[in-house]
Amino acid sequence: MTKKEFIAASEKVFMNTYKRVPVVFVEGKNCTLVDSEGNKYLDMVGGLAASGMGHSPDFLVDAIQSQAAKLMHVTNYYWNEPQYDLAMLLVDNSFADKVFFCNSGAEANEAAIKLARKYGYKHFGESRYEIITVSESFHGRTLGTLSATANENYREGYKPLPGGFKQVPFNDAEALEKSITENTCAIMFEPLQGEGGLTPASTQFVEKVKELAEKHQLLIILDEIQCGFGRTGTMFAYEQFDLKPDIMSLAKTMAGGFPIGAIVATDKVAEAWKPGDHGTTFGGNPLACAAGVATVKEIIKQNIPEKAQKDGEYLKEKLDGLVEKYPFVNKTKGKGFMIGLELDFPGNEVVERAFEKGLIINCTSGNILRFVPPMVITREEIDHFIQILDSIFSDMK
């Protein structure tokens, strides 16, 4: 089939949940994608930050092939070695004592919500259930995580949503303090928002979270599904604050794009669960965990957090040059390899023009171009990306 025929045939069988770009990708390596017609594209989206170590890296292909030949799935009624190996990597490289594996970021946040509520129930009774989240957050598309997500665009048509959530403006310490009641069990937020426009948590806000959590015996839940595993310049973004969370949700880069999710927690909180309180059929399967072990080890081996810090600063400096050059480019946002460029007009046209020039980018919050490339990107590729973006802006003057 031609590309046009393939897309037409696909539209007949797929539900209309994505506004897809008219391209069929068939191959990828590092930061380059290749479509069905042989065209090459520089990928600055990286599977929405999931392909953090590039497309089909040799270490990941080898790990998946090797594990697939031995054991792909076994129920969590039994132990398996790759699951233990990945759990130990997460514990050894974070604040956490315990791990629960699932299949996606939304499932990880569902697990975090359930664990926090079970902890509140066990220690304070049925009235301790409410979770405070923040504006412009995104925690997933299940009904539970939609309730935690403070963005009406994702909620429309799905109400009534489960209750027990309250939203406050992000980085508003005063509003956060006023929102706490005897029903509050946890505060949940992203250290650096992804869908919400690449806005980082402020030091003042984080300090207030810590203060209130200690004062009211609340849990701190951090959603590091997008910003974790080195992307912001440290292994996990919470390390850039004087903060130790109680629960952290993870996914995306953890297995290099292979589906996986997890929550990690302290012993104190994890002990709220007993057998039967939560579970999953596919979560923590040997194949996904083998991919996770290979990916996390490679992140450590290549010192990706340091690379994200240094080359992320290089990327930001180049983008700042465009801010100075074009009056309609307002500012850069974010850090490391999780950077946004704020425009004073909707960014969809820029995304479309970039695609025509062989560049894959993304727009979030209407007017913020989001760049979450594979973290193996080279400075030469960054320069090429800037050249394309510069030429697009030049044509739009």
Domain range for 342: 3-56+304-396
At residue 177, does pLDDT exceed 80? Answer: yes
Identify the CATH number of the domain in which residue 152 sits. 3.40.640.10
> Domain check: are 203 and 143 in the same one?
yes
The DSSP secondary structure of 96-129, one letter per residue, reads -SEEEEESSHHHHHHHHHHHHHHHHHHHH-TT--
Identify the CATH number of the domain in which residue 342 sits. 3.90.1150.10
pLDDT of residue 84: 98
> Domain check: are 230 and 348 in the same one?
no
Q: What percent of the chain has pLDDT over 70?
A: 100
> Domain check: are 90 and 211 in the same one?
yes
- What is the C-alpha to C-alpha distance for residues 389 and 371, in angstroms, rounded to an integer? 12
Q: Is residue 62 part of a domain?
A: no
pLDDT of residue 81: 98
Q: Is residue 61 part of a domain?
A: no
At residue 151, does pLDDT exceed 90? Answer: no
> Domain check: are 222 and 333 in the same one?
no
> Domain check: are 100 and 215 in the same one?
yes
> Domain check: are 296 and 178 in the same one?
yes
> Domain check: are 96 and 139 in the same one?
yes
Domains in the chain, number: 2
> Domain check: are 290 and 313 in the same one?
no
Question: What is the per-residue pLDDT across 83-138, written as a single tens digit (0 to 9) for each?
Answer: 999 999 999 999 999 999 999 999 999 999 999 999 999 999 999 999 999 999 99
Q: What is the mean pLDDT of residues 265-277?
A: 98
Q: Is residue 64 part of a domain?
A: no
Domain stop point among 283, 301, 319: 301
Question: What is the per-residue pLDDT across 347-390, written as a single tens digit (0 to 9) for each?
Answer: 999 999 999 999 999 999 999 999 999 999 999 999 999 999 99
Question: What is the per-residue pLDDT across 196-255, written as a single tens digit (0 to 9) for each?
Answer: 999 999 999 999 999 999 999 999 999 999 999 999 999 999 999 999 999 999 999 999
Q: Is residue 63 part of a domain?
A: no
Sheet holding 362-364, edge to edge: 329-335, 338-343, 368-371, 362-364
- What is the C-alpha to C-alpha distance for residues 196 and 368, in angstroms, rounded to an integer? 9
Question: What is the per-residue pLDDT across 334-346, written as a single tens digit (0 to 9) for each?
Answer: 999 999 999 999 9
The mean pLDDT of the chain is 97
Domain stop point among 286, 301, 316: 301
- What is the C-alpha to C-alpha distance for residues 263 and 99, in angstroms, rounded to an integer? 6
Q: Is residue 65 part of a domain?
A: no
> Domain check: are 242 and 293 in the same one?
yes
Cβ(40)–Cβ(34) under 8 Å? yes
> Domain check: are 254 and 361 in the same one?
no
Cβ(358)–Cβ(40) under 8 Å? yes
> Domain check: are 137 and 284 in the same one?
yes
At residue 148, does pLDDT exceed 80? Answer: yes
Q: Is residue 66 part of a domain?
A: no
Dihedral sign computed on CA atoms, order 27, 355, 258, 310: positive
pLDDT of residue 147: 96
At residue 397, does pLDDT exceed 80? Answer: no
Confidence of residue 150 (pLDDT cuts 50, 70, 90): confident
Q: What is the mean pLDDT of residues 244-273?
A: 98
At residue 281, does pLDDT exceed 90? Answer: yes
Q: In 245-378, where does DSSP find H-type helix? A: 267-270, 286-301, 304-325, 348-356
Q: Which residues are registered as beta bridge partners of 329?
A: 343
Q: Is residue 338 part of a domain?
A: yes
Q: Is residue 88 part of a domain?
A: yes
Cβ(216)–Cβ(250) under 8 Å? no
Q: What is the mean pLDDT of residues 284-289?
A: 98
pTM, to two decimals: 0.96
Domain stop point among 241, 270, 301: 301
At residue 152, does pLDDT exceed 90? Answer: no
> Domain check: are 193 and 99 in the same one?
yes
